[in-house]
A = this chain, B = another copy of it.
Amino acid sequence: MCPAFKSEHIPRATIQRLAIYLQVLEALKNEDTEVVSSERLARACDVNPSQIRKDLAYFGEFGVRGVGYNVSKLIQSIKVSIGTDRLWRTALIGVGNLGRSLLRYQGFPKRGFKIVAAFDCDPFKIGEVVADLEVMCPRQMKSRVQELRIEIGIITAPSDRAQRAADYLVEADIRCILNFAAARIQVPDHVYVEYVDFFHHLYVLTFKYCVGEAQRAKTTSKP
């Protein structure tokens, strides 16, 4: 089901960069670019070329000296290395504003994911159809997860209902959870959780801005 890994210890930061490489490579492919040098790829990704060569060497991609990487082949290699050379069947729990926008988002399949079920405990939402999916009661989750062979759960519930949503997913034997709710969740050790919190990106921005301002103030106050 999953590919054999050349390395089981690819660091998280590398996987983050692989996501960037994939994004840029897909754009190059759409422009019918067949081969790309590590320098050009580096510029487009805003990463230095030696970092790219190092990252790609992790999973045995070295490119051809003086020529570069074959775009389609590199896309396929990266997908195999992170396991997205197939579709991961995904359930979403919490059909609020964010949930709806994800359900309507068309970009999942080409990245290797498909939302095949949507759950919400609000009786007014159950039965509603959003992006061709009928919203279901979380009590049905266990049977639907088996039936639809769902492997990933996406939590878009409000923060005070995130733990309950997680409990439903764990109970349904889901082992991968992407949590958009602004709350930490407790799950058993065999369940992987990733948190999406765009506020930390905003904090990085405000922090950098403030540091920049402080430095500018220092520079201009010098005689």
Q: Is A210 an interface residue (CB 8 A)?
A: yes
This protein's copies in its complex: 2
Q: A183 — which chain B residues lie within 8 A by C-beta?
A: 23, 27
Q: Which residues of B contact A5 (CB under 8 A)?
A: 210-211, 214
Please report the total number of A residues contacting B with Cβ < 8 Å: 69
B198 touches A204 (CB 8 A): no
Specify which chain B residues have a CB less than 8 angstroms from the CB of A97 in the assembled complex: 100-101, 104-105
Known: A111-B202, A200-B15, A215-B8. A207 touches B83 (CB 8 A): yes
Cβ of A64 within 8 Å of any chain B Cβ, yes or no, is no
18 contacts between A and B (CB under 8 A): A8-B214, A15-B207, A16-B200, A20-B184, A23-B184, A45-B184, A81-B207, A83-B206, A83-B207, A97-B104, A107-B182, A112-B202, A176-B205, A176-B208, A178-B198, A194-B201, A194-B202, A194-B205
The 9 A-B residue pairs whose C-beta atoms are closest, nearest first, are A2-B210, A19-B200, A97-B101, A194-B201, A83-B206, A83-B210, A101-B101, A176-B205, A82-B203
